[in-house]
Amino acid sequence: MDMSLTRAEVEERGHPVWAEVDLGAIRHNVRTLAAHASGAELMGVVKGYAYGHGNPQSAIAMLQGGATRLGVARVAEGLHLRQAGVAAPIHVFTEPPPGAITAMLDHDLTPTVYTEAFARVVSDAAKERGRRVPVHLKVDSGMHRVGVPAEDVASVARSLVAMEALEVEGVWSHLAVADVPNHPFTRMQIDLFQKTLEELDTAGVKPRYRHLANSAATMSDPDTHLDLVRCGIASYGLWPGRDLLGILDLRPALALRARVNMTKVLEAGDGVSYGLRYSLAQRSRIATVTAGYADGYDRRLSGRGDVLIGGRRYRVSGTVCMDQFMLDVGEDDVEAGSIATLIGDDADDAVRAEELAVHVGTINYEVTTRIPSRVPRIFLNETAGGDDG
């Protein structure tokens, strides 16, 4: 799935809404995070179509910025990167159904393992190919999503050691509340993970990579850096949590822009959009912007979200429709064809994904990840160069 178009193609095909993704910003962010990671390697987390930013371009930019590995949630995401020629190690964070193991091994995707049954199937498939396959053992240190429960690690490790076609290259876990700096639960997870590593060592498992940190922990807690940090959100210049704002020089990589399709003058008392929830206080000009919730512009932004046109802020007037929403632009010089910035910089102002997330009652991760495939991505600064800063 490549949704990349040039600006000219966006024009020619009449796309009224598009995302601009600055690959120079991604390279800069990854370099900044890697420099902060106490010498650990950095895995660029590019699942969810690179949090909506687009693959393979975002993944490639991360590698150019210094990431040595990539992380995805699904086998298909890894295959997409391989088909695009990405050669770096690609980790799949959960065990897929056994039917996917052939594809994983054929394309050198690095499996996460946490059940003996899955490890056995990987080992058998590796043996058939006459190969040893590197795997990363996932430990559940308290988030209770997937992973070997800490108390079972020693026995699972003994089984893995007996599977000669597997190389336990890594052992890892995931933090539940790293976005809240100095949370005692994170300390508990770090300690439990360390204890587990000692047990593994006793069982003869000496992994090359021990990893625990997401973006928040990378930014705030050097004790979590170990051999490898796994950074998603911060690589895109988005903040992993309110308390981490401004700690590092990160640059938001994504802007979402849409064209005004039509303007009209309405009278005081006229209502706008489904439900007529916006009623004009006085005669005014209404601009219709061609983006809606089918473009990832959430319906809960009705009457709440601000957009920028020519550096000025306008509040969404009434209900966000599937493909359009309206703005009361007063007397201002807004015309059909004007460009509205839904996310991103415009003149001296900016709308951040974080701002929209507050209105919607979600997190910035979801705001960008939900921008769907019908919105083309225009990639800026594709070639690594001086603009990276």
Annotated catalytic residues are 47, 274
Residue nearest to ligand PLP (CB): 232
- Considering the complex, state which of residue 179 and residue 388 has its C-beta at the smaller distance from ligand PLP: 179
> What's the count of helices (H) and strands (E) in the chain, helices before strands?
12, 20
Element (H, E) at 372: none
Minimum Å gap between C-beta 215 and ligand PLP is: 3
- Considering the complex, state which of residue 45 and residue 340 has its C-beta at the smaller distance from ligand PLP: 45
Question: Six-digit token pair at 240?
Answer: 């992993």
* Measured distance CA(26)–CA(378) in Å, rounded: 14
Minimum Å gap between C-beta 221 and ligand PLP is: 13
- Considering the complex, state which of residue 110 and residue 338 has its C-beta at the smaller distance from ligand PLP: 110
- Considering the complex, state which of residue 45 and residue 360 has its C-beta at the smaller distance from ligand PLP: 45
Treating both helix axes as pointing N-terminal to C-terminal, what angle do 116-128 and 153-162 enclose, rounded to 10 degrees?
10
- Considering the complex, state which of residue 27 and residue 230 has its C-beta at the smaller distance from ligand PLP: 230
Q: Contact, 190 vs 222, CB < 8 A?
A: no
Biggest CA pair distance of the chain: 79
* Measured distance CA(227)–CA(68) in Å, rounded: 12
Minimum Å gap between C-beta 219 and ligand PLP is: 9
* Measured distance CA(126)–CA(32) in Å, rounded: 38
Cβ burial of 120 (10 Å; 0-12, 13-18, 19+) is: middle
* Measured distance CA(83)–CA(4) in Å, rounded: 16
* Measured distance CA(192)–CA(310) in Å, rounded: 53
Nearest to 110 by CA among 85, 86, 76, 75: 75
- Considering the complex, state which of residue 18 and residue 172 has its C-beta at the smaller distance from ligand PLP: 172
* Measured distance CA(349)–CA(302) in Å, rounded: 21
Judged by phi (left if over 0) then psi (alpha if -120 to 50, else beta), residue 29 lies in alpha
Measured in degrees and rounded to the nearest 5, phi and psi for residue 103 equal -60, -40
Minimum Å gap between C-beta 88 and ligand PLP is: 16
Q: Contact, 220 vs 177, CB < 8 A?
A: no
Minimum Å gap between C-beta 92 and ligand PLP is: 10
Minimum Å gap between C-beta 150 and ligand PLP is: 17
Contacts with ligand PLP by CB under 6 A lie at 45, 71, 93, 174, 214-216, 230-234, 240
